[in-house]
Amino acid sequence: MFAAGLWASRGFAGGLFDAALTRSDGHQASLSQYRGKPVILFYEDKGSTHVNRPLKGRLREWGDAHAAHGAAHVVAVTNLQAYNFFPVKGFALRRVRGMEEKLGIPILADLDGTMTTPPWSLPPHASTVVLFDSEGNVVYQKTGAFSEDDIATLLAVLDELI
């Protein structure tokens, strides 16, 4: 588990998060709009969306079992930096909008690599999951495939936050 202090040393004032990203309709969005509830953020590119499919399924099951849907935000951020040019950007954002409708969660686009630069410094071609408390402090982060133990740890931390 990561403490907020570790993130503060990487450039997060008090561990608080924020980033300006793009919604699928092309308008700007801010991660800070999700404060007030815990946030589970998935940062993935096109090639890594399958990596944590078991975690995504378990989160859905967890929400059903705990009647916790709505108790936390699940937000996906997709790395679309390679598609940030006309007309491809429009096609990519339409694809994101279709996925939002299918999955029922917001998917924000990182068109300029914001999340891959400090203070975030997330790997651009991997699946990274970050859990924030309701005030925006990072309480857990992992890049790569989650093991069953990793999933259990994330769900336990989420239980504590809710």
Q: Greater confidence, 66 or 130?
A: 130
Q: Greater confidence, 62 or 83?
A: 83
Asked if pLDDT for residue 17 goes beyond 90, the answer is: no
Residues 84/93, Cβ–Cβ less than 8 Å: no
How many other CB atoms are found less than 10 A from the CB of residue 48?
21
Which CATH topology does 19-119+141-161 take?
Glutaredoxin (3.40.30)
Residues 146/52, Cβ–Cβ less than 8 Å: yes
The band of 66, judged by pLDDT with boundaries at 50, 70 and 90, is confident
Lowest mean per-residue pLDDT among 58-67, 106-115, 151-160: 58-67
The band of 161, judged by pLDDT with boundaries at 50, 70 and 90, is very high
Residues 139/1, Cβ–Cβ less than 8 Å: yes
How many other CB atoms are found less than 10 A from the CB of residue 35?
18
Lowest mean per-residue pLDDT among 15-24, 95-104, 151-160: 15-24
List the domain boundaries for the chain.
Answer: 19-119+141-161
pLDDT given for residue 4 in this prediction: 36
